[in-house]
């Protein structure tokens, strides 16, 4: 066997092993979650567990509907805050910024992605919560604070994926629009951006996945009240926050209910991943 063939064979084995380990890890996580969470969910009762509005572990009452609503509300708020800013920033970096400005801004976007979530939480406690407390009712630890923090946290994901999608649009689309008399802005917003819509949506969906799975920053600023909020100034508790706050001392059915909460969250993430795959397939077909 020649050295080149040996290296290629070794590389194939290495890559196959890496893929196998990844698949095995996902399978083990699925087995652990469903084996420990589904029995607890069945013992509590699926309707009572998913639609119950009261969470009192001391009385064996486990209704996670407020946490589901809290996760959806916080994620929706993050979309409102982060997605428009992220897409506009991606458009600016891809089609409007000069090379020096784009080169200066790109490291900042990458730095946002590398900041630990606890630092975002500290920033929210110091800078965002006091402002909300001053302008609105309540203590400032609220759904609004969580939405703002999550909106900031999903920015690098949305910006990076959307910019890559915009950069991948053939230059002939833009040049053809200019040749037909379009302005630069019209060509970007009416021709280039629609051509990259599947990639932009994939970035948005990835950002949603980041927001719904975030824990530490949300725990620090959301107020962690297991209620369905009536306003954006009230506190909420997300599914991830519920797990991390109580898993340290949970036992028996309480522990099973928290793992079952993880099962529900895992299903949410699977649905988001399926949506990403559908968007990619649609983009490839287009």
Residue that has been written with the tokens 């309540």 in this structure: 138
Domain 65-285 of CATH type 1.10.3720.10: yes
Distance CA(240)–CA(243), nearest Å, equals 5
The pLDDT assigned to 70 comes to 92
Please count the other Cβ atoms lying within 10 Å of the Cβ belonging to residue 228.
Answer: 15
Give 35-42 contacts, CB < 8 A, sequence gap 24+: 36/256, 36/259, 37/256, 37/259, 37/260, 37/261, 37/262, 37/263, 38/260, 38/263, 39/256, 40/253, 40/255, 40/256, 40/257, 40/259, 40/260, 41/256, 41/257, 41/260, 41/263
The pLDDT assigned to 1 comes to 61
To the nearest 10°, the Cα dihedral for 123, 127, 128, 132?
Answer: 150
The pLDDT assigned to 66 comes to 92
Round the CA-based radius of gyration of the chain to a whole number and report it: 23
pLDDT along the chain (286 residues), means of 10: 74 88 90 88 90 88 92 92 93 88 86 87 92 87 92 92 89 86 86 86 85 87 88 90 87 90 88 74 63
What pTM value is reported for the model?
A: 0.85
Q: How many CA atoms lie within 13 A of 27 on its CB side?
A: 6
The pLDDT assigned to 214 comes to 85
The pLDDT assigned to 179 comes to 86
Q: Which residues pair with residue 62 across a beta bridge?
A: 55
Phi, psi of 236 (to 5 degrees): -135, 165
The pLDDT assigned to 274 comes to 79
């Amino acid at each position: 066997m020649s050295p080149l063939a040996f290296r290629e064979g070794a590389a194939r084995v290495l890559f196959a092993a890496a893929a196998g380990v990844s698949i095995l890890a996902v399978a083990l996580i699925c087995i652990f979650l469903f084996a420990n969470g589904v029995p607890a969910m069945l013992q509590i009762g699926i309707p009572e567990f998913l639609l119950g509005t009261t969470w009192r572990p001391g009385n064996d009452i486990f209704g996670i509907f407020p946490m589901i609503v809290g996760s959806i509300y916080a994620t929706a708020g993050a979309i409102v805050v982060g997605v428009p800013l992220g897409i506009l920033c991606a458009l600016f970096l891809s089609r409007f910024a000069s090379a020096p400005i784009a080169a200066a801004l790109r490291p900042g976007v990458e730095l946002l992605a590398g900041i630990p979530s606890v630092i975002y939480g500290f920033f929210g406690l110091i800078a965002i919560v006091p402002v909300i407390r001053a302008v609105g009712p309540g203590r400032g630890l609220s759904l609004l604070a969580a939405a703002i923090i999550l909106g900031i946290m999903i920015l690098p994901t949305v910006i990076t994926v959307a910019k890559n999608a915009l950069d991948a649009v053939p230059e002939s689309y833009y040049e053809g629009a200019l040749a037909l008399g379009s302005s630069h802005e019209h060509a970007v917003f009416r021709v280039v951006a629609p051509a990259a819509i599947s990639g932009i949506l994939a970035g948005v969906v990835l950002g949603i996945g980041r927001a719904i799975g975030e824990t530490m920053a949300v725990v620090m600023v959301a107020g962690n009240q297991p209620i369905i909020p009536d306003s954006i100034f009230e506190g909420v508790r997300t599914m991830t926050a519920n797990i991390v706050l109580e898993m340290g001392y949970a036992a028996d059915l309480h522990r099973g209910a928290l793992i079952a909460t993880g099962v529900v969250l895992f299903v949410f993430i699977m649905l988001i991943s399926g949506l990403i795959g559908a968007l990619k397939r649609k983009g490839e077909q287009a």
